[in-house]
Structure 1
Amino acid sequence: MTEQEQQVVDLLKSIETGATGPVSVINPKKYIQHNLAAADGLAGFGQLMALLPKGSAKVNTVRVFRDGDYVFTHTDYDFFGPKIGFDIFRFENGKIVEHWDNLQETAGPNPSGNTMTNGPTAPKDQEKTADNKALVRAFVQDILVGGQFDKLGGYIEGENYTQHNPAIGNGLSGLSAALEAMAKQGITMKYDMVHKVLGDGNFVLTVSEGSFAGKASSFYDLFRVENGRIVEHWDTIETIPLQSDWKNTNGKFAF
């Protein structure tokens, strides 16, 4: 684990422990917040923490990755209730200056028995990071944004696809069954655009904007790649609040 990765893990853990030392990694003069429930700056982070009942938070960071100036994590939270979250931190001159996240209430296990966080955690094949990022970007653009489902076979190999979305089972069959069930219930899921792609070896995270069940939503999707194919997927979906309810003016994305 790199120094910056450890600093982020320690910072997140401080939400649980109340330790003040790890917070020093945040630049006190510049901390751009994209969690729309928190005010901007270090003060906004402190205000959010102050709302937590003492001893109520639990934080278990399951995965941590780094891509250049960005560290991104996959965490099991109990933070105003059980949630799974992806966090992205941007470093500048050794300090954290920007933060994005996406939180979803914990659910599952899914029809295949997978939770929202179980599975491999350690990245490998760092030399393939750029290729894997390109593959995943193309998958999200072609399939999720473009709806070109006839191209699925070029990215996913049949049933060799482990799914962690709490509503979807493994393999292409699980995906098809879930989409059919959603259609019957009149639930639509639409990806409009990809805002960011981050990667560390065989793990790639995409940040996308769209709508779910008619509500503006943010989609964070983490993929594991093996031999040029996508073999595993974790995600969180979060409703984007009305702008009148935002606690900062930075927006959910703005990469």
Structure 2
Amino acid sequence: MSKEQNKALVLKAHNMLFSDKDIKALELYFSSDFIEHSPLVADGIPGLKELVASCPDMDYKVSRVLGDDNGLVALHGRFVGLDENPLVGFDIYRVENGKIVEHWDGLVAEAEKNISGRSQLDGPSEVDSNADSEANRQLVKKFFTETLIGGDYSGFERYSDGKTFYQHSPDIGDGVQPVIDFLEQLKADGTALHYDKIHRTVADGQFVLTHSEGSIAGARHAYFELWRVENGKIIELWDSIPAVPSDEDAVHNYGIF
């Protein structure tokens, strides 16, 4: 199946399951040996059935759909009815031979708009089919390795135009210097965002989603960060950074990565 076919399949299956609460989606679109990595859902098809049955008011609205030639499809959107408060963030699905075989997610509580008036979901959403997905992936991975894993925050200047950076994180406003100042202050406070490795990327047009692992103040976290590239410069960021549950709290044995 093509990237666009995979995107259509995943979006249809996701909406059918989480908005329509129709578990026939599991038979139609999911592999019988489906692997679940979400910390919110028990493993496999039974876990999804249990989730749908326990959340009768659940609904989902998608903001972005990204697909990769490696079979990964990422959804960026908002859940209601899954928790007491709305949750926003990312779902990553892996499609193989026309069936969904694996799923990861990173969801956090919806927050107020940041100081620049941006929400966790607004902004450009249409994929630019003329953009070079692979070149943008390599650019983001190089930036990520130097700047976030390496802790050299001047990379935000080198990989942008030095000024333009549209920010959707609830805690930071627009601009290159504000994000550098924010990260440096966290480091000074002993609560720096530590990044260990990238587990996977989804690159589609001008968008690159990085799914990585690290820690904050010694506690393991998953980082879902969506970067937008324009003319070879990184100019926009959306993120979701949930904590990793302890082994004692895990609902399956596959881990969240």
Provide TM-score, normalisation by structure 2: 0.91
- 1:50 CA drift (Å): 1.9
- Separation in 2 of the partners of 1:51 and 1:148? 45
- Separation in 1 of the partners of 2:43 and 2:101? 11
- 1:31 CA drift (Å): 0.4
1:44 corresponds in structure 2 to 47
SS in 2 for 1:219: strand
Aligned length: 250
Alignment equivalent of 2:121, drawn from 114, 117, 124: 117
Matches within 5 A, 1:129-148: 129-148=133-152
- Separation in 2 of the partners of 1:180 and 1:209? 20
Verify the 8 A CA contact 1:188 1:213 in the aligned structure 2.
yes
Matches within 5 A, 1:78-89: 78=80, 79-80=82-83, 81-89=85-93
Could you tell me the percent identity over the aligned residues? 34
- Separation in 2 of the partners of 1:64 and 1:200? 9
Q: Per the alignment, do residues 127 and 150 of structure 1 end up closer, same or farther by CA in structure 2, a change over 3 Å counting?
A: closer
1:58 corresponds in structure 2 to 59
SS in 1 for 2:6: helix
Q: Does 1:72 align with 2:69?
A: no
- Separation in 2 of the partners of 1:118 and 1:9? 19
Question: What is the root-mean-square deviation of aligned Cα atoms in Å?
Answer: 1.8
- Separation in 1 of the partners of 2:156 and 2:39? 34
Gaps of 5+ in 1: none
Alignment equivalent of 2:223, drawn from 212, 219, 226: 219
Alignment equivalent of 1:246, drawn from 239, 242, 250: 250
- Separation in 1 of the partners of 2:202 and 2:20? 29
2:165 corresponds in structure 1 to 161
- Separation in 1 of the partners of 2:45 and 2:22? 15
Gaps of 5+ in 2: none
Alignment equivalent of 1:233, drawn from 221, 230, 237: 237
SS in 2 for 1:17: coil
| Letter in structure 2 aligned against 1:8 | V
| Letter in structure 2 aligned against 1:19 | D
- Separation in 2 of the partners of 1:243 and 1:43? 21
SS in 1 for 2:154: helix
SS in 2 for 1:110: coil
- Separation in 2 of the partners of 1:101 and 1:135? 24
- Separation in 2 of the partners of 1:246 and 1:126? 42
- Separation in 1 of the partners of 2:128 and 2:223? 24
2:22 corresponds in structure 1 to 19
Matches within 5 A, 1:84-95: 84-95=88-99
- Separation in 2 of the partners of 1:177 and 1:132? 25
Provide TM-score, normalisation by structure 1: 0.92
- 1:125 CA drift (Å): 4.4
| Letter in structure 2 aligned against 1:99 | H
Post-superposition CA distance 1:138-187 (Å, at most 9, x none): 11110000012233322112221101011011111221342355356543
- 1:2 CA drift (Å): 2.7
| Letter in structure 2 aligned against 1:187 | T
SS in 1 for 2:137: helix
Q: Per the alignment, do residues 33 and 116 of structure 1 end up closer, same or farther by CA in structure 2, a change over 3 Å counting?
A: same
Verify the 8 A CA contact 1:110 1:166 in the aligned structure 2.
yes
- Separation in 2 of the partners of 1:4 and 1:12? 12
Alignment equivalent of 2:132, drawn from 128, 137, 140: 128
Range with greater deviation from structure 2 (95-104 or 14-23) = 14-23
| Letter in structure 1 aligned against 2:10 | V
- Separation in 2 of the partners of 1:4 and 1:151? 34
